[in-house]
A and B are shown apart, each in its own frame.
Chain A
């Protein structure tokens, strides 16, 4: 449709276009549009929850949350692309080099920050024991007892916490995951 092209033109002036080729943006827009049942140019949380594979993902709600900016209930196409840009593989960085001084969205650091924020619900830049427990509970359901889960959480914090404040900061988080191939685990291969 004609108005779709206008959106693409406007989007092309933003930084997000550096992460995706023109044909990829077209396909992503088509996907965005098919998810947008209300046809109002923005996605709500219900639109995401309609995807069965996402609805059965234990971390589904947290992932959906990551798309929505602080306190908002709608995400537009630009925001949609911006979040997806985190999952671009790392070697495809040539296009985004030199745009500005800040790091590209799909750098290892930014991928780790994305994962960190899945834990850190209150955005205080620390993963508390409660926040860790919440995520653990989401992932195991009813299959592990409170005591066992509690001790798993305690052990995890103990091993990661270096400054003794009983919570995990972002730099401690990075240290814990330094041997993990984050680039591969947090990348999606976009075709064309």
Chain B
């Protein structure tokens, strides 16, 4: 199974092609200036454009479908991926039953054991390394320990990862699209990074505190997260120190379902350093890697991951990018995002991943109104 998956990994994954409707790519200006009913600048038919676009978005919009697992074209024998595929035959049910036995009876216990070993070793070994005085030996040992333990954890998920095009990294910031917490494992098992994140309590917090003894990770308290200047300063300081490792950041800020890349938050792009973009694409046939945090807790998610067939993914390292003259942080962020989307075969969206939980800002509606008013005023002046 591993070898077969590795061969198939060479091509880009084909995105699901069964949309509900076909949208016409007509802009507001184009449609409204077509033959009008009356002779004036405002035409009663102008509402038809907004009406149709509105109903199109009710049937199929670009945003809400990114926050739930991707629909599969054919079933992969996992109950959790079975949405609309109704043809259940007796033979398929038997196959599915067999699959359940293998996955829960054999694969899951094996993987859980590996995972516990991996995490346990990580905690113990990084504590030991942490006691050493700061030296090149410590850095070397810390790297080896981290890589080894993360690789065990990766095995615990039966993650079959294909890395493409490695580039040497020299400090800086590494950015990638975010689908699940496993992204961190996948990247950290191939290279050493400083991680950035919120300081948790409990088991997670304990692991975070242990890790930071051996390796300079950046953990923020919940209160500090709101202070953008503080965050930017700590990141800049880290980056300025050439002896430190590259920082790993997921600029989307939330998990997206791996069919698209959503807006990158500009914070990491304001810092003056090299950006190393990475594109991660999971193969949905072996298991759904997306963590729907509103539906599943972390533990449930990990159990799902460990009882899927496998986690098959491709990682593309892109050539390093730097902010160009005259480019502001937002434009730079969009440029990096497009490069990642193109490489990973994902849809490039400008929408904010935060729309998962919050309402869209009024200013976007005002933009639409401004656009329409411009067309009206132009026609008024032509009268």
Binding site for B on A (CB under 8 A): 5, 24, 26-28, 30-31, 34-35, 48-60, 63, 67, 84, 87, 114-115, 118-119, 135-136, 139-144, 152, 155-156, 159-160, 168, 173, 176-182, 185-192
Contact = CB atoms under 8 A, between A and B. Distances in A.
A63 B367 CA distance: 19
Given A51-B64, A63-B55, A84-B59, A57 B39 contact: no
Given A139-B47, A141-B369, A53 B20 contact: no
Contacts of B367: 56
B369 to A, nearest CB: 3
Nearest to A52: B360
A119 B45 CA distance: 11
A56 B360 contact: yes
A146 to B, nearest CB: 14
Given A156-B44, A160-B44, A189-B21, A58 B59 contact: no
B20 A143 contact: no
Contacts of B370: 141, 143
B327 interface: no
B369 A139 contact: yes
Counting from the closest, the 4 A-B pairs by CB-CB distance are A141-B369, A143-B373, A53-B57, A63-B54
A113 to B, nearest CB: 12
A186 B21 contact: no
A188 B40 contact: no
A55 B360 contact: yes
A186 B49 CA distance: 8
Contacts, number: 174
Contacts of A186: 48, 51-52
B160 to A, nearest CB: 30
B324 interface: no
11 contacts: A31-B60, A53-B57, A60-B54, A118-B47, A143-B373, A152-B376, A156-B42, A159-B40, A176-B38, A185-B52, A190-B20
Contacts of A179: 35, 37
A136 B40 CA distance: 14
Contact of A63 (B51, B71, B364): B51
Contact of A189 (B22, B39, B377): B22
Contacts of B44: 119, 156, 160, 168, 173, 176-177
B372 interface: yes
Interface of B: 18-22, 24, 31, 34-65, 68, 71, 83-84, 86, 351, 355, 359-360, 364-370, 372-374, 376-377
A48 B360 CA distance: 13
Given A179-B35, A180-B35, A51 B49 contact: no
B55 A141 contact: no
Contacts of A140: 369, 372-373, 376
Given A51-B57, A142-B369, 14 more contacts: A26-B84, A31-B60, A52-B63, A54-B57, A55-B365, A57-B365, A84-B59, A136-B42, A139-B372, A141-B366, A142-B366, A144-B377, A155-B40, A179-B35
Contacts of B41: 152
Contact of A58 (B21, B24, B56, B365): B365
Contacts of A136: 42
A181 B24 CA distance: 15
A159 B54 contact: no
A41 B118 CA distance: 45
Contacts of B31: 185
A24 B51 CA distance: 21
The listed residue with most A CB atoms (<10 A of its CB), out of B42, B49, B65, is: B42
Contact of A152 (B42, B48, B57, B359): B42
B37 A180 contact: yes
Nearest to A158: B40
Contact of A190 (B21, B46, B65, B373): B21
A52 B355 contact: yes
Contacts of A55: 359-360, 365
Contacts of B71: 30
The listed residue with most B CB atoms (<10 A of its CB), out of A53, A118, A191, is: A53
Contacts of A118: 47, 51
